[in-house]
Structure 1
Amino acid sequence: MIQLLIAAGVGLVVSLGATRYLITWLTEHEIGQPIHEDVPEGHTIKAGTPTMGGIAIVLGLLFAYGITNLFRGVYTRTGLIIVVTIALAGVVGFIDDWIKVTSERNLGLTKRAKATGLVLVAGGFAVSMLAFTNVSTELSFTRAGTLGIDLGNGGWAVWALLLILGSTNAVNLTDGLDGLVAGSAALGFAAFTVIGFWAFRNPGVYEYAHALDLAVVAAAMLGACTGFLWWNASPAQIFMGDTGALAIGAAFATLALGNNTQLLLPIVGGLYVLVTMSVILQVGSYQLTGKRIFRMAPIHHHFELAGWPETKIIIRFWILAGMSTAIALGTYYADYISITGVGR
């Protein structure tokens, strides 16, 4: 427990300080976010707000993981691979953000270039996990063995690739309102902190190595997102940009793959699934019928156009994220009870 508190605390302090520095530096150098034309009119006043704040989140993770494990005296292969993958996903996002701010238009990397970068990152993660760790290749819900479906090395690598691509894109789509992703992500990482620690305390039930290290990674991300939220809360003084969104998405996917909760991830990240489905439904409906289901997609823009204040949308979406987290943890614990009989 001490290690988790250190990880969360260091992640928070580093992210808090690094974000403040970024706001000052980016403002002095007049590096701000261009606003896409296809958003509600209220977003135009946000043009020029400093972006790429996700750098602070990644730094918070790196410092927190490094210092915590220096204190523990243990650096696991699983933890290192996951941390490096998160950082590399952030690099892909940083390149995208940098092109946007230097060209002064809301068009960064092409879709193909961004997808290629993420595929390389995800592929590196899958190969490294299979080569250097004893990761389970089973399709799993709350733990390995729940479904009895072994994907094999090749199938698991493809599954890991799809999960990372899906998670990064879902978080990226959700990043449209001040503090929405940072706040909801903190709740999700809190869930993964509990899951990792619980698995560490119950090794006879959850048979995977380095559970505590995965909890440390999750706690570090929890602290880093919370520190960033201090400055990103509405009205935001800085945006996380793709740097933060892609790093957060990669963190969710890699943690789920590492602790065998892949099919639990859509529940933990229920808000991101909701937002992604709104885009899919909007595009599908328009292509099939020529009509739109929502005033604008993703769905948070629909509520903006319906007249909801931005803060109301954010808080209500945070509540939805909290409900998803609670359901996920409840499901995880219910499975534990079904095996051990504890609490019956």
Structure 2
Amino acid sequence: MLFWAFSLLVKYETFFNVFTSLTVRAILALFTALIISLAMGQKVIDWLQKLQIGQVVRNDGPESHLSKKGTPTMGGTLILSSITISVLLWANLTNPYVWTALFVLIGYGIVGFVDDYLKVVRKNTAGLVARWKYFWQSVIALIVAFGLYIYGKDTEVTALVVPFFKDVVPQLGLFFVLLAYFVVVGAGNAVNLTDGLDGLAIMPTIFVAGGFALVAWATGNVSFAKELDIPYIQYSGELMIVCMAIVGAGLGFLWFNTYPAMVFMGDVGSLALGGVLGVISVLLRQEFLLLIMGGIFVIETLSVILQVGSFKLRGKRIFRMAPIHHHYELKGWPEPRVIVRFWIISLMLVLIGLLTLKLR
């Protein structure tokens, strides 16, 4: 909205031209989302407490988590609101990639909201039935995947960018739909699995979103895309606004979610953030980069898969508890130690991922 307003004001005063700059708008989007999160955070926490929307804690989990019972959850509504408002204010709303990202963010947020609502309000410990949860995630992901395939068939939109090999950019054809589907759904659930300790999921999300902000800026710039030997994608630059809004909203939420947490994001936040990171990677044609930069999410997901598979096949568990962050808790690591060490690993993985763009 403000982008449109400033574009009109430039005709009367050239000073306003600074606010049409992508970099300036991205920074302002970060600060806008941050300020909204900080300003509304305590109000949202008080509102959730008033409604008695408290965290449900697993009885078979670490004993230290029992004290978390009743902590306000569904704080992801604050994150989603901050991101959405910031993007609507600072993004070029004629850009279809912006609306695609918002569609997944809000769509997955609604699925997560229903799941949380059934758990904490209706006291249904199972939440949304798993098959319906995955069904609606799949519907949203397939709408996006088929839409992108129809729009960009046999162009850079449906090509696969392979790390380290600048001349390997194969056209995926219909396989693009399958890849996009699994990336969006997989990312949504991976972040959801990671969200088990105070601040554990939100900081890696911030790191990955910040990394993708740089990639979006480069991908949407003809010169830099050519220098890095990555496809130039027409609408991708504006995704920098979305990424920076995620960073701002995430930092604002972390203010209240850091150990010991005053609020949890719930599925409404984790599913939405994972889904939007997934779709951003698809839009930028950097699915492999998400695999690297989001390595913490991958490790958490693999730990669950290995744990379940091992128990079903051999009757034995590999880890003391899955996801893997609980394994280290049960080994005696204090929760803050697990969190910060996972943050450090996540930051290193994001830097390694960005490095692969140059090593081509």
1:12-27, aligned counterparts within 5 Å? 12-27=34-49
The aligned counterpart of 1:239 is 264
1:146 positional shift: 4.8
Give the secondary-structure state (helix, strand or coil) at the position aligned to 1:136.
Answer: helix
| 1:76 matched to 2:95 | yes
Q: Distance in 2 between matches of 1:175 and 1:299?
A: 11
The aligned counterpart of 2:197 is 177
Distance 1:26 1:325, change over 3 A: same
| Cα-Cα RMSD | 1.8
The aligned counterpart of 1:316 is 341
Q: Distance in 2 between matches of 1:213 and 1:142?
A: 23
1:111-122, aligned counterparts within 5 Å? 111-122=130-141
Q: Distance in 2 between matches of 1:333 and 1:319?
A: 22
Q: Distance in 1 between matches of 2:167 and 2:252?
A: 36
- Stretch deviating more after TM superposition (18-27 or 124-133): 124-133
Task: Give the counterpart letter for 2:71 in structure 1.
Answer: T
Task: Give the counterpart letter for 1:181 in structure 2.
Answer: A
Q: Distance in 1 between matches of 2:125 and 2:163?
A: 39
The aligned counterpart of 1:29 is 51
| 1:64 matched to 2:89 | no
Give the secondary-structure state (helix, strand or coil) at the position aligned to 1:164.
Answer: helix
1:205-224, aligned counterparts within 5 Å? 205=229, 206-224=231-249
Q: Distance in 2 between matches of 1:225 and 1:143?
A: 31
| 1:45 matched to 2:67 | yes
Q: Which runs of 5+ in 1 are unaligned?
A: 336-344
1:126-137, aligned counterparts within 5 Å? 126-132=145-151, 136-137=157-158
Q: Deviations over 1:232-255 (max 9, x none)?
A: 001111100000111111111111
| 1:333 matched to 2:358 | yes
1:112 positional shift: 0.3
Q: Distance in 2 between matches of 1:82 and 1:127?
A: 15
Q: Which runs of 5+ in 2 are unaligned?
A: 1-22
Distance 1:146 1:61, change over 3 A: farther
Residue in structure 2 matching 1:104, options 110, 116, 123: 123
| 1:86 matched to 2:105 | yes
1:18 positional shift: 3.1
Task: Give the counterpart letter for 1:244 in structure 2.
Answer: G
Distance 1:195 1:91, change over 3 A: same
1:42 positional shift: 1.3
Q: Deviations over 1:93-132 (max 9, x none)?
A: 0010011111225321011010011011111212332345
Q: Distance in 1 between matches of 2:34 and 2:358?
A: 28
1:181-200, aligned counterparts within 5 Å? 181-200=201-220
Task: Give the counterpart letter for 2:38 in structure 1.
Answer: L
Q: Deviations over 1:141-191 (max 9, x none)?
A: 359975332221x32112111111111111111110000011111111110
The aligned counterpart of 1:123 is 142
Q: Distance in 1 between matches of 2:343 and 2:336?
A: 10
Distance 1:193 1:142, change over 3 A: farther
Distance 1:68 1:94, change over 3 A: same
- Stretch deviating more after TM superposition (136-145 or 301-310): 136-145
Q: Distance in 2 between matches of 1:142 and 1:221?
A: 25
The aligned counterpart of 1:254 is 279
CA contact (8 A) 2:95 2:235 kept: yes
* Corresponding residue pairs, total: 331
Residue in structure 2 matching 1:9, options 21, 31, 37: 31
CA contact (8 A) 1:186 1:221 kept: yes
Distance 1:95 1:74, change over 3 A: closer
Q: Distance in 2 between matches of 1:16 and 1:131?
A: 40
Q: Distance in 1 between matches of 2:190 and 2:98?
A: 23
Q: Distance in 2 between matches of 1:74 and 1:285?
A: 48
Q: Distance in 1 between matches of 2:317 and 2:25?
A: 49
Task: Give the counterpart letter for 1:140 in structure 2.
Answer: V
Q: Deviations over 1:70-97 (max 9, x none)?
A: xxx5530111111121111111000100
Task: Give the counterpart letter for 1:123 in structure 2.
Answer: L
Residue in structure 2 matching 1:291, options 308, 316, 341: 316
- Stretch deviating more after TM superposition (12-21 or 91-100): 12-21
TM-score, length of structure 2 as denominator length: 0.87
CA contact (8 A) 1:35 1:46 kept: yes
The aligned counterpart of 2:178 is 158
